[in-house]
Amino acid sequence: MLQSLNARAMLVSIGFLVLVLGVWEFANPAPDASKPLTEYEILMGGADQEARVPPPSAVIIRAFEELSNPFYDAGPNDKGIGIQLAYSIYRVLTGFMLAALLAIPVGFLIGMSPLMYKALNPFIQVLRPISPLAWMPLALFIIKDSETSSIFVIFICSIWPMLINTAFGVAGVRRDWVNVARTHELSPLRTALTVILPAAAPTVLTGMRISIGIAWLVIVAAEMLVGGTGIGYYVWNEWNNLDLTSVIFSILMIGVVGMLLDLALSAATRLVQYEE
């Protein structure tokens, strides 16, 4: 029989999926089309007939259409889902990398120097709780480019978890290991690279994983705001088109891509993980 826990869990998952999709499909039937249309409905072109949350079957059909041709480009308001996701991923990765370049060295500094920790802590505490979107007007004014502004918003929201985790990881490196570096007369740079960096790496990677999760949440909102391209813009554009099927499809795609980003970072974390 099904001995494996994984196999049983998968079976239960499929069961839940079928149940939820079934309820969704049948709980919300289309309005009866056999009734004659009222005058208002005739005026509105019978649009009300489909004014309901689209059933999963419609979403699956749409997903199939979109995914079979993800990279078409038929003008500014009609691009394939692949192109839109690629724009968003590009922005997230650019902002995230820039943030890592700043946050990891500064986190090292804060973690190694109690003075810098105390000096920079008030700034971090004030800047960290600011919603990244609150920076958007300022960014648009200063940068004067919507594309770069959305990268900046990703940059600013990615900094904090990486900065704090790096500082925490570096400050928490076991005294013994630092003593090993000292008794072997390692230079400060070599100590940082060969002892502190590998010792703090799992904590740093955890910070990066949290950051990329937040960045992916924020990019959707940022793109709804600045428009043009990207998955956030796509969602908002389809809402303006009243195409709820596409909206639901893109929501699912956002989830899938977010999951893949998280899996990539968790695989990277496993590479640097060590057992004490």
Who's near 262: CB < 8 A, 6+ residues apart? 209, 212, 213
Amino acid at 198: P
Query: Does the footprint of other proteins cover residue 239 (CB under 8 A)?
Result: no
Which is nearer to other proteins, 172 or 198 (by Cβ)? 198
Judged by CB under 8 A, the residue of 131, 179, 241, 266 near other proteins is: 179
Min. distance of Cβ 185 from other proteins in angstroms?
5
- Report the C-alpha gap between 24 and 18 in whole angstroms: 10
- Residues facing 73 on adjacent strands: 79
In the complex, the smallest distance separating the C-beta of residue 272 from other proteins, rounded to whole angstroms, is: 8
Smaller CB separation from other proteins, 201 or 219:
201
The candidate with the shortest Cα–Cα distance to 157, out of 84, 218, 98, is 218
Instruction: Give, in order, the Cα–Cα distances in Å from 208 to each of 18, 213, 270.
Output: 35, 9, 13
- CA-to-CA distance for 132 and 75, rounded, in angstroms? 30
Which region, judged by CB under 8 A, interacts with other proteins, from 59-67, 133-141, 157-165, 183-191? 183-191
Our finding on whether 8 is near other proteins (CB under 8 A) is no
Task: Give the separation between CA 240 and CA 227, rounded to whole angstroms.
Answer: 12
The two structure tokens encoding residue 115: 């003075």
Q: Which is nearer to other proteins, 128 or 184 (CB)?
A: 184
Q: Which is nearer to other proteins, 208 or 231 (CB)?
A: 208
* Residue in 193, 88, 196, 103 with CA at minimum distance from that of residue 147: 88
Taking CB under 8 A as the criterion, the residue among 8, 52, 118, 184 binding other proteins is: 184
Specify the residue, 106 or 195, whose C-beta has the smaller distance to other proteins: 195
Asked if 177 touches other proteins (CB under 8 A), the answer is: yes
- If the CB atoms of residues 195 and 218 are measured against other proteins, the closer one turns out to be 195
Report the C-alpha dihedral over residues 4, 7, 9, 11, rounded to 10 degrees.
-140
172 contacts: CB under 8 Å, gap ≥ 6: 200, 203
Phi, psi of 79 (to 5 degrees): -120, 155
> Between residues 81 and 199, which has the closer beta carbon with respect to other proteins?
199
**Residue placing its CB nearer to other proteins in the complex, 83 or 186:** 186
Region binding other proteins by CB under 8 A among candidate stretches 21-29, 106-114, 135-143, 196-204:
196-204
| Residues 6+ away with beta carbon under 8 Å from 226 | 136, 140, 146, 147, 149, 150, 233
Of these, 199, 218, 222, 224, which contacts other proteins (CB under 8 A)?
A: 199
Positions 130 through 159 that interact with other proteins (CB under 8 A) = none
Residue 186 in the binding site for other proteins (CB under 8 A): yes
- Residue 53 sits in the site that holds other proteins (CB under 8 A): no
Per CB under 8 A, 270 contacts other proteins: no
194 contributes a contact to other proteins by CB under 8 A:
yes
Chain residues binding other proteins by CB under 8 A are: 176-177, 179-180, 182-186, 190, 194-195, 198-199, 201, 272, 274-276
